[in-house]
A = this chain, B = another copy of it.
């Protein structure tokens, strides 16, 4: 069950001027399930994205990159139930066909449409079903449909994920609203499963890619469920420019900082929600590495801890088997790490120092922290001033169950 996470109140997901969303059932998932989402963007909207670095990236990811490189974007189309990945040339052609159908409906070119797919890999995309259902999705377009879209992009997610923030930018109130899906095959590299964050702020096109990359690095690139990087990871940032603020053009200015803070807050909430709703999760775990020499070594150690099946099963059992955390720090690959000068904390409890268990540590202290649903593991490396954070969840019987039975 999701850890301290409930679906957002639909009213809490604020409309973003210039963005309308429509939902339909295409029958790719079980009949009647909402599995198709269409997002319409007003003219003048800026769009940027970061995508999976998986070499077997899905056909829609390939098309997204092409379309973003050359054209303005007027619509996004998202199906669940099928990833259109590992589908070769035929997969590309079916994704293109989907874009063409959307273009025809919306009165734009196929290159103005971004396609997204998520679901089973290696199965042909039933493009005909999408084409048939597209008019219904178009008829459903409304600026208030963020919550419906958050539900319609789910696969093994138990809880829909969405968040909103408002901020003052150049004397105007700007709105940021985002939705995301992701629960398994989560170990993003550049981005995560599917995340869409939209703002009505006006920002120079030249800053969009910088902003989406900077936000991804502090949000979606900090979460892992099972260490598997998906073929379809996409994180899309949309700026409609309808808030009335003076166009943000200075990446060192206060307006850029304010917008980035709001977009980051939404994205971090969505990224954490993925770990909270990680497949089979019973615990939400924050791994915080401090005092490192550089970001890379902090991330390396954080991910060694966050990915270890031995550590994740111990969290599931609420067993403070802390030796496993030390072992992961040791094999993370930081070859000159001195294990005698670092400290390990579980919550606020000092667990290990001087290469061994802290003299002050008692099993009862560890057990008390382990009973919590939200747990922080903190490692002080004491060799620099860089830090990094990774969010993950534990590893339970249900993870095995969900993934053993995924296609049945």
Contacts and interface: CB of A to CB of B under 8 A. Distances in A.
Contact of A86 (B314, B326, B401): B326
Given A89-B354, A316-B404, A404-B313, A330 B56 contact: yes
Interface of A: 52-57, 83, 85-91, 120-123, 184-185, 187, 189, 226-231, 307-310, 313-314, 316-317, 319, 321-324, 326-332, 334-335, 337-340, 352, 354-357, 395-397, 399-401, 403-408
In the A-B complex, the 9 residue pairs with the closest CB atoms: A121-B323, A56-B330, A88-B356, A317-B404, A122-B323, A229-B331, A313-B403, A54-B330, A88-B355
Nearest to A405: B317
Contact of A400 (B308, B337, B400): B400
Contacts of A189: 331
12 contacts: A53-B331, A55-B338, A56-B355, A85-B327, A184-B310, A185-B310, A228-B308, A228-B328, A229-B331, A230-B327, A319-B407, A397-B400
Contacts of A87: 355-357
Contact of A309 (B89, B309, B319): B309
Contacts of A89: 354-356
Contact of A330 (B55, B187, B357): B55
Contact of A319 (B228, B327, B339, B408): B408
A346 to B, nearest CB: 12
Contacts of A395: 309, 400
A330 B307 CA distance: 18
A326 B314 CA distance: 30
Nearest to A344: B86
Nearest to A56: B330
Contacts of A308: 226-228
Given A321-B406, A404-B319, A85 B331 contact: no
The listed residue with most B CB atoms (<10 A of its CB), out of A56, A87, A323, A403, is A56
A313 B406 CA distance: 10
Given A323-B86, A327-B185, A339 B56 contact: yes
B309 A54 contact: no
Contacts of A55: 329-332, 334-335, 337-339
Contacts of A407: 319, 321
B403 A228 contact: no
Given A319-B407, A339-B56, A400-B316, A121 B324 contact: yes
Nearest to A320: B407
Contacts of A335: 53, 55
Given A56-B331, A89-B356, A319-B406, 6 more contacts: A55-B339, A88-B355, A89-B355, A185-B327, A314-B403, A321-B406
Given A54-B331, A88-B356, A356-B86, A326 B231 contact: yes
A331 B187 CA distance: 10
A183 to B, nearest CB: 12
Contact of A231 (B230, B319, B330, B400): B330
A399 B227 CA distance: 17
Contacts of A405: 317
Contacts of A329: 55-56
B319 A121 contact: no
A177 to B, nearest CB: 30
B356 A120 contact: no
A179 B248 CA distance: 68
A380 to B, nearest CB: 15
B309 A228 contact: yes
A400 B314 CA distance: 9
Contact of A227 (B309, B321, B326, B356): B309
A77 to B, nearest CB: 21
